């Protein structure tokens, strides 16, 4: 296959973002297909009978490129710029528009923390353009933090460096972990300060501002449909559904009542797969409002997310949610389903037969159950998930709760347990690095004895079992404190910490002996430090 010359469609070469030739690969299908807000100023207001408002980025003082994802550039056919300042940084910082760019902010609503919040919309995000990549696929370039829009409400339309780094880093890390996600092309410092009260306690401070260029086939959310249904804008609702199906689900066929039902079921399926993957790697989204749920089943809107350190179903990084813990790790599947029910409500004018909507919701439960069982079997290195293994998993969860145990290190270490050994200390040795607290290590030892018996019954070759487990249990995840160290260094002008972390996280399942320190347990200093274990929605 490799010897067959590729037909040159003019798509293979990578071009500079500002190369006029690139404009041939620009498109604006969303803008063309859907109704625009007729009003053209950015004063916050309720918008009616429209899917988006035309906007312009607000220029910033001194755009400077801090990070660039080559792999995302490859997808788009856009070359890494030679210089950190100049025309490309100007476009990606929002200071200059290229011919063919018709930026817009999408109109959406959402249920926030369980309640209908009305119109929200892209308050600081704007899609610049769609780019057709060398693979023939369409992807949006969307700036986050590029200024006010009609959806900014009382906020400033800006984003701070810390939250922008966190979005860039985590969305790329999720991709390499194999979790469906939006991507990020660039991170640009604005050279301007943004005022934020990080914990809403009256201590507002100036922080450096930044703009991330996010990339996804579409940023449409459940909330884009909810706002149309809530306002009984049924013509617009149908147009948006038809656009999303034709553009992003063409395999389902031309929109019809049956196709709408199949489409909803497919959204449920994708959402189940995504959340099962979150649970697999220990990711906690932190704000699973329906405006943060992608219609394509991608992880979207990285805000006060976090990574499990100690395995704890009740853990949430989001201080705004600390009392209710609605969006804690263990409730993510249930909340995803609750969100799908809200989407079902919004799509009901198109899918009048309740049974179709119920079938979709049922498929969420079924797919999530199948995925999570397969994942748990694979994480434990079992040949197959068999009768009785449920009890083994339940007991493991209880044991992990009993002694504060690092999720990532525990599952990675499990592959190294010499299951043929008889000695308890020998069995436990590969897991020791995972314990923050060994007060109830006895429970885990009891579990481990059952586990090794179970694994012995499979009779797998140890090396094969280990290799299989290491393909599903990552060694490297963007631990909360590592992201914070990268942010602190960047604020001092040192990009090397972020660069190294990004490079290591491109191979999260590989042993990288020279980067062992990045796989280590959270240090004690980070246990309660802001940004490391506690985050708010302020970003």
Nearer to ligand AMP, 125 or 129 (CB): 125
Convert 466-476 to b/e letters by CB count within 10 Å (16 or more is b): bebbbebbbbb
Radius of gyration of the chain (CA): 24
Residue of 152, 218, 319, 473 that binds ligand AMP (CB under 6 A) = 152
Binding span for ligand AMP by CB under 6 A among 80-88, 130-138, 268-276, 284-292: 284-292
Q: How does strand 283-284 pair with strand 26-27?
A: unpaired
Site string for Mg ion, 301-340 (x = CB under 5 A): x---------------------------------------
User: Alpha-carbon distance 518 to 502, whole Å?
Assistant: 11
Sign of torsion, CA 488 492 495 496?
A: negative
Question: At closest approach, how far in Å is the CB of 384 from Mg ion?
Answer: 40
Question: At closest approach, how far in Å is the CB of 152 from ligand AMP?
Answer: 4
Nearer to Mg ion, 110 or 209 (CB): 110
User: Alpha-carbon distance 498 to 44, whole Å?
Assistant: 36
User: Alpha-carbon distance 229 to 179, whole Å?
Assistant: 30
Give residue for tokens 């906020």. Answer: 155
CB 194 within 8 A of CB 312: no
Nearest to 57 by CA among 160, 146, 173, 175: 146
150: contact with ligand AMP by CB under 6 A: no
535: contact with ligand AMP by CB under 6 A: no
DSSP label of 528? S
User: Alpha-carbon distance 268 to 357, whole Å?
Assistant: 10
Find residue 183's DSSP bridge partners.
215
255: contact with ligand AMP by CB under 6 A: no
Question: At closest approach, how far in Å is the CB of 303 from ligand AMP?
Answer: 5
Site string for ligand AMP, 458-497 (x = CB under 6 A): ----------------------------------------
Partner that binds at residue 152, options ligand AMP, Mg ion, none, CB closer than 5 to 8 Å by kind: ligand AMP
127: contact with ligand AMP by CB under 6 A: no
How many Cα atoms sit within 13 Å of 476 on the Cβ side?
27
User: Alpha-carbon distance 267 to 296, whole Å?
Assistant: 7
Residue of 151, 219, 315, 385 that binds ligand AMP (CB under 6 A) = 151
Nearer to ligand AMP, 152 or 319 (CB): 152
Nearer to ligand AMP, 117 or 313 (CB): 117
User: Alpha-carbon distance 169 to 184, whole Å?
Assistant: 8
Binding span for ligand AMP by CB under 6 A among 23-31, 153-161, 210-218, 326-334: 153-161
Residue of 124, 162, 183, 475 that binds ligand AMP (CB under 6 A) = 124
163: contact with Mg ion by CB under 5 A: no
Question: At closest approach, how far in Å is the CB of 508 from Mg ion?
Answer: 25
Does 74 participate in catalysis according to the annotation?
Answer: no
Convert 16-51 to b/e letters by CB count within 10 Å (16 or more is b): ebbeeebeebbbbebbeebebbeeeebebeebeebb
CB count in 10 Å sphere of residue 99:
7
**Cβ-closest position to Mg ion:** 301
75: contact with ligand AMP by CB under 6 A: no
User: Alpha-carbon distance 244 to 379, whole Å?
Assistant: 35
Residue of 12, 13, 155, 530 that binds ligand AMP (CB under 6 A) = 155
Nearer to Mg ion, 286 or 474 (CB): 286
Total interface residues for Mg ion by CB under 5 A:
2
Please give the residue ranges that form the binding site for Mg ion (CB under 5 A): 292, 301
- Residues at the site binding ligand AMP, with contacts judged by CB under 6 A: 120-124, 151-152, 155-158, 287, 291-292, 301, 303, 537
Residues serving a catalytic function are 291
């Amino acid at each position: 296959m490799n010897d067959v010359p590729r037909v040159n469609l003019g798509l293979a070469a990578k071009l500079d973002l500002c190369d006029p030739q690139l404009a041939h690969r620009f498109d604006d299908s969303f803008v063309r297909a859907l109704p625009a807000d007729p009003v053209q100023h950015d004063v916050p207001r309720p918008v009616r009978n429209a899917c988006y408002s035309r906007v312009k980025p607000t220029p910033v003082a001194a755009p400077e490129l801090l990070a660039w994802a080559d792999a995302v550039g490859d997808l788009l056919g856009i070359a890494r710029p030679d210089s950190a300042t100049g025309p490309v940084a100007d476009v990606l910082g929002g200071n200059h528009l290229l011919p063919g760019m018709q930026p817009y902010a999408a109109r959406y609503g959402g249920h926030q923390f369980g309640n209908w919040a009305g119109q929200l919309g892209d308050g600081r995000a704007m899609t610049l353009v769609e780019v057709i990549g060398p693979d023939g696929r369409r992807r949006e370039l969307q700036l986050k933090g590029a200024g006010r829009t009609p959806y900014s409400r009382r906020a400033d339309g800006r984003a701070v460096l810390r939250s922008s780094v966190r979005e860039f880093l985590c969305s790329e890390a999720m991709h390499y972990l194999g979790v469906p996600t939006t991507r990020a092309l660039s991170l640009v410092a604005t050279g301007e300060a943004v005022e934020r009260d990080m914990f809403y306690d009256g201590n507002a401070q100036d922080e450096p501002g930044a703009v991330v260029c996010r990339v996804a086939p579409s940023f449409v959310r459940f909330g884009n449909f909810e706002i149309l249904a809530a306002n009984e804008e049924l013509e617009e609702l149908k147009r948006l559904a038809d656009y999303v199906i034709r553009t992003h689900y063409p395999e389902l066929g031309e929109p019809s009542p049956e196709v709408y039902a199949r489409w909803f079921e497919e959204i449920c399926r994708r959402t189940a797969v995504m959340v099962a993957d979150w649970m697999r790697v220990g990711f906690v989204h932190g704000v699973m409002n329906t405006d943060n749920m992608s219609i394509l089943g991608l992880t979207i809107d990285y805000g006060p997310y976090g990574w499990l350190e100690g395995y704890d179903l009740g853990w949430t990084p989001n201080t705004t949610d600390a009392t209710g813990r609605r969006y804690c790790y263990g409730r993510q599947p249930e909340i995803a389903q609750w969100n799908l029910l809200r989407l079902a409500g919004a799509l009901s004018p198109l899918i009048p037969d309740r049974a179709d909507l119920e079938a979709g919701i049922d498929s969420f439960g079924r797919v999530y159950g199948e995925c999570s069982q397969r994942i748990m079997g694979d994480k434990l290195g079992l040949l197959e998930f068999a009768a009785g293994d449920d009890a083994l998993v339940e007991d493991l969860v209880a044991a992990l709760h009993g002694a504060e145990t690092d999720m990532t290190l525990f599952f990675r270490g499990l592959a190294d347990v010499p299951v043929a050994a008889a000695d308890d200390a020998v069995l436990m040795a590969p897991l020791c690095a995972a314990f923050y607290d060994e007060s109830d290590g006895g429970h885990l030892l009891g579990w481990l004895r059952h586990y090794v018996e179970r694994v012995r019954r499979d009779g797998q070759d140890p090396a094969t079992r280990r290799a299989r487990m290491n393909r599903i249990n990552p060694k490297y995840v963007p631990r909360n404190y590592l992201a914070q160290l990268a942010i602190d260094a960047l604020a001092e002008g040192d990009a090397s910490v972020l660069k190294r972390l990004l490079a290591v996280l491109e191979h999260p399942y590989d042993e990288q002996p020279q980067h062992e320190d990045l796989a280590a347990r959270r240090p004690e200093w980070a246990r309660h430090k802001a940004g490391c274990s506690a985050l708010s929605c302020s970003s």
